Amino acid sequence: MSEQGIRRIVLTSSQGAGGDWARLNPLVKAFIKMSNIKAGFDDHTGVDEVVRASDTDWTLVRAVALTDKPVSGPLAAEAGTAKPGPRANRADVAGFLLDAVEQGAWIREAPLVWNAKG
């Protein structure tokens, strides 16, 4: 990215990827380890490592289980250890990604996002 002059990147990731693995409950961890979705988590973790090592202003937006419901906003977002809600609407996550770019928010952070209502 630095070779091309890219200074900002905002990516979607997943709850449990990278350093967020500890937040998952043991049953979910066991399911991931024993299923074919482990490869997806490994990919998310690899991207996490590469992006964090860059000098780019990055944001990794970690979403909980995604739904196809219409925009309902607002999303709850935090980079700590709070227990999230169970779902995030894809449309709301897309809005969060755009806001992060336009507002220069969450730079060099990996917020977990979920729908605060419903």
pTM: 0.87
Which CATH number goes with the domain that contains 23?
Answer: 3.40.50.720
pLDDT digits 0-9 by tens, 55-74: 999 999 999 999 999 998 78
pLDDT digits 0-9 by tens, 95-109: 999 999 999 999 999
Extract the tokens encoding 111.
């917020």
Residues 72-110: b if buried by 16+ CB within 10 A, e if exposed: eeebbbeeeeeebbeebbebbbeebbeebeeeeebeeeb
Q: Which domain holds residue 41?
A: 2-115
Give the total number of structural domains in the chain: 1
For the segment 9-14, the average pLDDT, to the nearest whole number, is: 94
For residue 82, the model assigns a pLDDT of: 75
Q: 118 falls in which pLDDT band (50, 70, 90)?
A: low
Q: Hey, which residues does 60 pair with through a beta bridge?
A: 11
Evaluate if residue 110 carries a pLDDT over 90.
yes
For residue 62, the model assigns a pLDDT of: 94
